[in-house]
Structure 1
Amino acid sequence: MSENKEKYSSFRIPVPAAYEAIFSHFYVAENRSSASITKTLLPSFQTILIFNFGVHAELCSQQNLKIKMEKCIVLGPIKRAFDYTLPPESEIFVANFKDDAFYRFFGHVSLTQYLPQSPDALLNANCFNMLWTELKKIGDPDLKVAYILEFCKKYLRQQNTITEHLINFGDTGISSIKSVAEMYNQSERNIQLNHKKSLGYSSKEVNRFRRFLKAVSYIQKGAVTTFPLKIDWFEIIEECGYYDQSQLINDFKHYIHLTPTKYLKFQQEICHAGA
């Protein structure tokens, strides 16, 4: 392992059981090396809150523009992969909102996809600048998490019952829109609007993403269990509900800017390096 890599660290912090419906996890990354380190953030359909300590980290937009992270930014829902760069002496602390939790906390604010926004600008307040100041004083990441959880407790709104039902359907293969519309005697159009408003994306968008994740899972499983490596692409197309190979390729290019075969090669290289 190189000296630079030895001085770069990143890790996840799990969420206490009482807050598992609000955050999926917290993420910390620090670069104490002498060189900038670039990472790729894969799509998750989650909205994230990033606290930037130390030297400003940078985001790379879809147009390859470098955008400096301010003290605290909101980004999402993350629907496509993008790169970010951590220069020397940078540190980020990321809260990953789950399902509708961002909107339960911030209300129905308007987010600009793929561009970071100041949470204080969204709320027309100065509370997150003050929160950043307090977190900056705390060295222990676990104590940072505890402070954030206590901070958000008093602002979190009750979950809408319709949204709760939409979330609970999850990846069941059942039409959540149609079922919830019948349950509440509303039009499917109204439920679709509720879905978009409460979660930040439509049911059609997230169903496409789940199909993509299923394909990724099949590819990763095949890469681990078959030697010499052999992926049955037509089996993946059939099992994951794709019409043809072209649709599979389009999804990979859409979400991570790679073809399935290039993604597979990337995975092989990572596994080989780890071994």
Structure 2
Amino acid sequence: CIVLGPLKSAFEYTLLPGSQILVVNFKGDAFYRFFGKAFLSQHLPINPDEVISENCFSYLWHQLNGMTSVSDRVNCILDFCRPYLKSQHSTAALLANFKDSTRNPVKTIAEETGQTERNVQLTQKKHFGYSSKELSRYQRFVKAIELIQHVLLSSKKVDWFEIIAECGYYDQSQLIRDFKHFINLSPRNFVRFQHDICRASGE
């Protein structure tokens, strides 16, 4: 059992033959609410028992190891987490539930709550592990992925300049940097990878 957080770019790992992996994603500020901090390690995974004073993760691992059903394991993890989750910070709750894509969340929440923008930024970094700028970059990348997949489903050729304009990229090099950063693939290799998956599933 290891903990990595928060992940901001692609990384490689290897599983031994016969190994199993169950990945738990902490949504929003749940990582902070569970561990009391959003950053555990900048480079290396750590043993979660070193973060929480109780030797609880070792016990959880033994419980999960005795289960074969994924749904049973998920329910076990959810039940395990509930007693440890702290109440959500009021500003963090506003940030997590902010849905207006036409407005700056930090500026809007600062105005509504009478805080400085810097204070809201620090709260976001502390509770979520990333800044609003980093979040915007990720959301822009996700939008690009969705547009590309939509084009591929229609069996059309991807118009990269249209993707760049639609998602708000400055140029093609910025789009390439985001693909390399988040999934360690170039845009064209991503498209090739998607074609290979579709071809394999159709055989």
Partner in structure 2 of residue 253 of structure 1: 180
Query: 1: distance between equivalents of 2:72 and 2:145?
Result: 35
Q: What is the Cα deviation at residue 83 of structure 1?
A: 2.2
Q: Please give the TM-score of this superposition, normalised by the length of structure 1.
A: 0.69
Match for residue 101 of structure 2 among 168, 172, 175: 172
Relative to structure 1, the CA distance from residue 246 to residue 141 in structure 2 (aligned partners, 3 Å threshold; closer, same or farther) is closer
Give the one of 125, 134, 159 matched to 1:196: 125
Deviates most, 177-186 or 245-254: 245-254
How far 1:109 moved relative to its partner? Answer: 5.9
Between Structure 1 and Structure 2, which shows a larger proportion of helix residues? Answer: 2
String of CA shifts for 1:58-112, please: whole Å, max 9, x gaps.
Answer: xxxxxxxxxxxxxx11112221112222222211222221111111111126411
Offset at residue 245 of structure 1 (A): 1.5
Structure 2: 5+ residue stretches without partners: none
Q: Which has the higher contact order (CA 8 A, sep 6+)?
A: 2
Contact 2:6 2:38 in 1 (8 A): no
Matching residue of 1:56: none
Q: Supply the distance in 2 between the matched residues of 1:170 and 1:74 (Cα, whole angstroms).
A: 29
CA distance in 2, matches of 1:148, 1:197: 24
For 1:245 and 1:77, the matched residues in 2 are separated by: 27
Residue 31 (structure 1) aligns with: none
Gaps of 5+ in 1: 1-71
Is the CA contact 1:214–1:240 (under 8 Å) kept in the aligned structure 2?
yes
| 8 A contact 2:106–2:132 mirrored in 1 | yes
CA-based RMSD: 1.7
C-alpha distance in structure 1 between counterparts of 2:130 and 2:38, whole Å: 14
Aligned with residue 133 of structure 1, among 62, 65, 68: 62
Q: Which residue of 1 is the match for residue 15 of structure 2?
A: 86
TM-score of the aligned structures, taking structure 2 as reference length: 0.92
Relative distance call for 1:273 and 1:114 in structure 2 (3 A) is farther
In structure 1, C-alpha distance between the alignment counterparts of 2:174 and 2:116, rounded to whole Å: 30
Asked if the contact 1:76/1:114 (under 8 Å) is kept, the reply is no
Partner of 1:34: none
Moved over 6 A (4+): none
Change (3 A) 1:270 1:139: closer
Q: Percent identity?
A: 52
What is the rounded CA distance, in whole Å, between the counterparts of 2:183 and 2:100 in structure 1?
A: 21
Aligned counterparts of 1:171 and 1:255: Cα–Cα separation in 2: 24
